[in-house]
Amino acid sequence: MSELKKLEAGGPHNPEGHVIRNYLDLLLDLPWVTEEKKSIDIAEARRVLESNHNGLEKVKERIIQHLAVMKLKQEKQGSILLLTGPPGTGKTSLGKSIADALGRKYVRVSFGGVKDEAEIRGHRRTYVGALPGRIIQGMKKAGTKNPVFILDEVDKLSSSYAGDPASALLEVLDPEQNGTFSDHYLEVPYDLSEVLFIATANSVANIPWPLLDRMEMIEISGYTKNEKFAIARDHLLPSTLEEHGLDADKLKIEDEALKVIIEKYTREAGVRQLKKQLAKTARFVSEKIVSGKVDFPYVVKADMLKEILGKEVIRQEEARKENVPGVVTGLAWTPVGGDILFIEGTFMPGNGKLTLTGQLGDVMKESAKISLSLVRSRLANTANSFDFTSSDIHIHVPSGATPKDGPSAGVTLFTALTSLIMGKAVDPKLAMTGEITLSGAVLPVGGIKEKILAAHRAGIKKVILPKENERDLEDVPDDVRSELKFIPVETIEEVLKEALDIDLPRPIVSYTGNGFAATQNV
């Protein structure tokens, strides 16, 4: 018997025998030879994506383009896809659909909480309890050299004394290096160049730049109410009925009830909470069926939801019926979509102090200070003789328990201060977003789609937004865009003309001998 076979056999005097056997089993089980490749059918891929996913038109089109490039390059992998977006928006299920569309094996590995480099590269066989890394284990599970490999939650990787797993992923995801990927346990170069890697993340903020640079990001912003309704009706409800031993002959949920569940019982960019509410409804009906208390089919109507799901849990902000001077409606981006917020201002006798409340972040505090400086410099001669030196100004942004920050409230803060000082109210059906500078320019901001959807949901009719953000309106659904009037602006003069019907003169800066001074160009 050769020395290798003796080592493999193990025994009382050779406890390492099982390690060698596991190593040889791994070498034999790994796919080393590429089987006959199946041609990529773009039409079939498009059909699978359309049947499995409602909405996400740009995302699906980008995936189709990626597959078309793979077909032209004879499946040589290029860029690595990174699907990023809020929880429950279908990032992982999109990866599964891509595997189905290509007719390939599907492998998923989650990196949530991983902080050991050996999870990626494997342990050296000299250590007790040594194992190959998750990449090699996934390839063994797939049994093929070209699976669709989902790297879930790559933004949850973290560094520790055991190394940096995000850096170890660089070799896996770099097309120039992964043809000879080396696992410490395997100690043999392994070719990963035929694997289609798809990473998912909730936020790119925690992904190191060198790793992010190797991936091409596809952003999934979330679903509209109409898209959620279609997803619930066509996908979530049938799967929920099957999971609870029901079918359409035993339980039916009216369309109006589905819409109420979406609007009053869930608040999210994705549909995960929506599925939980449908499951809660299915459990309620299952108990009735088992107890023999209902006749088939059991039809759930909107007025029955309080009994089934309890009281409504979501309070939607709605446009006010009437505004007083100093109150303006702003638009905000949140991780679960968009929302409207009210900026309120008042003044009282004092010595010119500015007070800010509502848990505002540093960026919003600076925007408020810029707004006050602009108001004092541009409205000093037209502000109804308002004495800034003998009055304190207080700005509050409800709700006070919710932290708020971001570079998009400058226009709203400036308009609120102007409305307060001039004593003119702003139309409650008008909302606005945009950042300002000391020179009076209006700068573009992000999250336009989510903000516009929030405005539409709240009953807003007109939206003021930076002119450079006009191109972002293409992302807004047509049915929403058609019901709103958009006013693009470039300067604060345009903002005040539209919001308060005030013709604010532009300043002329002149030299007086003691320095530069701004005068009004009347």
Q: For residues 45 and 196, is the Cβ–Cβ distance under 8 A?
A: no
Q: State the pLDDT at residue 269.
A: 78
What are the pLDDT digits (tens) for 228-282? 898 999 889 999 999 988 888 888 899 999 999 988 888 777 888 999 999 999 9
Q: State the pLDDT at residue 7.
A: 43
Question: Under CATH, to which class is 327-509 assigned?
Answer: alpha beta
Query: Looking at the chain, which residues constitute the CATH 1.10.8.60 domain(s)?
Result: 225-309
Better pLDDT: 399 or 258: 258
Q: State the pLDDT at residue 20.
A: 65
**HSE-up of 110 (CA within 13 Å, CB side)?**
4
Categorize the per-residue pLDDT at 123 as very low, low, confident or very high, splitting at 50, 70 and 90: confident
What are the pLDDT digits (tens) for 178-202? 778 888 888 888 888 888 889 999 8
% of the chain at pLDDT higher than 90: 20
What are the pLDDT digits (tens) for 312-371? 877 666 767 778 889 999 998 876 667 888 999 998 998 889 999 988 889 999 999 999
Residue 447: exposed, middle, or buried by beta-carbon count in 10 A (0-12, 13-18, 19+)?
buried
Question: Under CATH, to which class is 37-219 assigned?
Answer: alpha beta
Whole-number average pLDDT of the chain: 82
Query: Looking at the chain, which residues constitute the CATH 3.30.230.10 domain(s)?
Result: 327-509
% of the chain at pLDDT higher than 70: 87
Query: Looking at the chain, which residues constitute the CATH 3.40.50.300 domain(s)?
Result: 37-219
For the question of whether the overall pTM of this predicted structure is more than 0.85, the answer is: no
Residue 353: exposed, middle, or buried by beta-carbon count in 10 A (0-12, 13-18, 19+)?
exposed
Categorize the per-residue pLDDT at 28 as very low, low, confident or very high, splitting at 50, 70 and 90: low
Q: Assign 3-state DSSP to the chain and report helix, strand, coil percentages, each to 5.
A: 40, 20, 40
DSSP for 211-270, written as a single string: HHTTEEEEE-----HHHHHHHIIIIIHHHHHHHTT--TTTEEE-HHHHHHHHHHS---SS
What are the pLDDT digits (tens) for 403-438? 888 888 899 999 999 999 888 899 989 999 999 998
What are the pLDDT digits (tens) for 33-78? 766 666 788 888 888 888 888 877 888 888 888 888 888 876 555 5
225-309 CATH pick, 1.10.8.60, 3.40.640.10, 1.10.645.10, 1.10.3720.10: 1.10.8.60
Catalytic residue positions, numbered: 408, 451
Q: State the pLDDT at residue 336.
A: 66
Please name every residue paired with 486 in a beta bridge, in sequence order, or none if there are none: 463
- Mean pLDDT lowest for which of 37-41, 298-302, 354-358, 482-486? 37-41
